Amino acid sequence: MEIAGGLEFHYVEAGQGLPLVFVHGVLGDWRTWAPQWPAFTPAFRCISYSRRYSTPNRNMHPSPDHSALVEATDLAALLQEWGTAPSVLVGSSYGAYTSLALAVARPDLVRAMVLVEPPMLGWADFTPEGRAARSDFEERVRLPARRAFLEGRNEYAVRLLTGGIVGEGTATSLSAEAMQRRMENYRSIRMLTLSTDEFPMIAPEALAGIRCPTLLLAGERTPAIHATVFESICRAMPNAACGRIPAAGHGAARDNPDEFNRTALEFLRRHQLCD
């Protein structure tokens, strides 16, 4: 489908009930949520879409200021095009960041949220431990990856970012098929890495003002940079429920789907959003 400006967005849909939209992270696409599909479609009208620069979308529109704020604008347009507002949003990583940005800008479009580790790296600067973790991430991962992208070494940049985002141990255990899928989506992270503001600040008071039911989740084995950001976000959102998924890292919905699905659906049932 296309929305204003001629942007193309691939999506799939199944199920009945209240609308629920899955929002994937960087290097993912509409297929990311396959482990969730059988668990959620009996209870919701589910949609999983590929964000602006993910496969199979052919969007080449330049976006030097690409960020979660831009992605939130895309999502707002899609929700209205699908006729699914307000929706339950289930987001992971940069998809969770995008969902928070939308909830702040357009609370009328969001019914509830289940979010895994929004990578709002500016929030790492709120604590000494966070500043150290962010400095390490910048020096070892983000800046070298940025240089690699500028030099056209896309595969090297993707591998470097994969290790930095999910942890070296998890990265080395990824299958060839998983790495191939990440390469298919390299433009999604290239556009962010080369952006003038990859991690725009969302003020703590803005997050504290979110009123829809929200569950914040993190993997117990997530890298330090994500752990410190997650803790800061939880402190800023006292009305949100917070939890950790065992035997999981930054990609908790993929690493331990059974536990993620159970936890998310229990939360949504508790708020009478599904049977």
At 193 the pLDDT is 92
Pairing, β 45-49 against β 11-14: antiparallel
At 6 the pLDDT is 85
Q: What percent of the chain has pLDDT over 70?
A: 97
Pairing, β 45-49 against β 19-23: parallel
Asked if the model's pLDDT at residue 62 lies above 80, the reply is: no
Tokens of 164: 């930095």
CA torsion sign, 94 to 95 to 100 to 101? positive
CB-neighbour burial class of residue 1 (10 A; exposed 0-12, middle 13-18, buried 19+): exposed
Asked if the model's pLDDT at residue 61 lies above 80, the reply is: no
CB-neighbour burial class of residue 115 (10 A; exposed 0-12, middle 13-18, buried 19+): buried
Domains of the chain: 2-127+199-270 (3.40.50.1820), 128-193 (no CATH)
- DSSP of 55-78, one letter per residue? TT-------TT-SHHHHHHHHHHH
Which amino acid is located at 47 in the chain? I
User: What would the pLDDT profile of 138-180 be if each residue is shown by its tens digit?
Assistant: 999 999 999 999 999 999 999 999 888 877 767 677 788 888 8
At 1 the pLDDT is 67
Asked if the model's pLDDT at residue 274 lies above 70, the reply is: yes
Tokens of 220: 């117990």
Cα 31 to Cα 23, 48, 128, 256: the distances in Å are 11, 8, 37, 16
Asked if the model's pLDDT at residue 182 lies above 70, the reply is: yes
User: What would the pLDDT profile of 186-222 be if each residue is shown by its tens digit?
Assistant: 999 999 999 999 999 999 999 999 999 999 999 999 9
User: Mean pLDDT, the chain, as a whole number?
Assistant: 93
